């Protein structure tokens, strides 16, 4: 099956967009809430879409649920911590959203989530887009089962955005308001 690789949970569209820069925290900081005033919120929403964030994250009830809901994220995070979570996803993996890795006796590794324990096997979901597709892995084939140190969120997602796009994206999340959700 999937050997030694991350689950192909979501197709992240980077091929069709132009590479701008592999942003580091140092490139973008320092930033304060004042930098997010008078930004282009609808471009921010567009940047959020273009960088595939909606594939895995919900904002105001729309988007995917592979990662945490980001609706109130700018209230929970400082700008710095938010950017760090995006630029270095594996540094801190938020509770309940990590994946496990099963190492098998044949040398293969499978990433996913344990959904069931049977007497002689473990029910394992390794394709988050096909949640009903559960592998039944015999316990005798399993060498180890542990939490993966790698976040399901890929790094480098901001690399097709300009600095202006990134500031707009932050402003979009900072000022998002559940009562006004129809700006396309």
Interface residue list for ligand HEC (CB under 6 A): 9-10, 12, 51-53, 55-57, 66-68, 70, 73, 82, 85-86, 89, 93-94, 97, 151-154, 157-158
To the nearest whole angstrom, how small is the minimum distance from the Cβ of residue 133 to ligand HEC? 17
Of the pair 119, 149, the CB lying nearest ligand HEC is at: 149
Of the pair 123, 154, the CB lying nearest ligand HEC is at: 154
Of the pair 9, 125, the CB lying nearest ligand HEC is at: 9
To the nearest whole angstrom, how small is the minimum distance from the Cβ of residue 107 to ligand HEC? 26
- The Cα 169–Cα 45 span in angstroms is 6
Neighbours of 54 (CB within 10 A): 17
To the nearest whole angstrom, how small is the minimum distance from the Cβ of residue 135 to ligand HEC? 20
Of the pair 64, 123, the CB lying nearest ligand HEC is at: 64
To the nearest whole angstrom, how small is the minimum distance from the Cβ of residue 152 to ligand HEC? 4
- The Cα 168–Cα 166 span in angstroms is 5
Neighbours of 57 (CB within 10 A): 21
């Amino acid at each position: 099956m999937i050997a030694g690789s991350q689950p192909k949970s979501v197709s992240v569209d980077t091929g069709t967009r132009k590479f701008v820069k592999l942003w580091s925290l140092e490139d973008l900081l320092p930033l304060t809430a004042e930098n997010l005033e008078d930004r282009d919120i609808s471009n921010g929403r567009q940047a959020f879409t273009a960088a595939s964030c909606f594939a895995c994250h919900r904002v105001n009830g729309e988007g995917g649920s592979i990662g945490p809901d980001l609706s109130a994220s700018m209230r929970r995070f400082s700008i710095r911590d938010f950017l760090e979570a995006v630029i270095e996803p594996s540094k801190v993996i938020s509770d309940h959203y990590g994946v496990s890795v099963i190492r098998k006796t044949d040398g293969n590794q499978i990433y996913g989530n344990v959904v069931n324990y049977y007497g002689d096997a473990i029910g394992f979901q390794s394709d988050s887009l096909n949640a009903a597709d559960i592998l039944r892995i015999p316990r005798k084939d399993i060498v180890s089962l542990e939490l993966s140190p790698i976040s399901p969120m890929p790094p480098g997602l901001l690399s097709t955005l300009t600095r202006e796009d990134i500031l707009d994206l932050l402003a979009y999340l900072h000022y998002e308001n559940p009562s006004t959700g129809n700006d396309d």
